[in-house]
Amino acid sequence: MTDRIAQERDRQRQQQNRYAREVIAGSDVRLSHRPAVPQPSAQPGFSVPSIGSIGGSTRIAYLAALAALALIGFGVYLFGGFELASVILFILSLVLMTGWFIF
């Protein structure tokens, strides 16, 4: 009985090794029918932008927010000290890291 179980395990292992060594030829690979770039949605409402559409006005708004946070942080530092400005500067650092990941 244990010999049969051992032989069955050996056969399964050999079959798995054959599958692992099998190389798929280029003609056997099926290409996806979906386009590489997502198409804009025709449905009204909220839609998530694709990476290709991020640019232009989004970057300008990002730079304007950075400039505003830097100026506000500097102003708060001048009038209220570093203790108060550290909150604004922390938010500025988060915005900078977010921009680094997105752009």
Q: What are 72-100's pLDDT values in tens digits? A: 999 999 999 999 999 999 999 999 898 88
Q: Rounded to two decimals, what is the model's pTM?
A: 0.45
Write out the chain's pLDDT in tens, 103 residues.
677 888 888 888 887 777 666 655 556 666 666 666 666 666 665 655 554 455 567 888 888 889 999 999 999 999 999 999 999 999 999 998 988 888 7
1 lies in some domain: no
15 lies in some domain: no
What domain count does the chain have?
1
Measured CA to CA, the distance from residue 78 to residue 38 in angstroms comes to: 48
Measured CA to CA, the distance from residue 42 to residue 57 in angstroms comes to: 22
82 lies in some domain: yes
Measured CA to CA, the distance from residue 55 to residue 52 in angstroms comes to: 8
Domain housing 90: 71-103
Measured CA to CA, the distance from residue 69 to residue 89 in angstroms comes to: 8
Token pair of 79, please?
Answer: 């009038």
23 lies in some domain: no
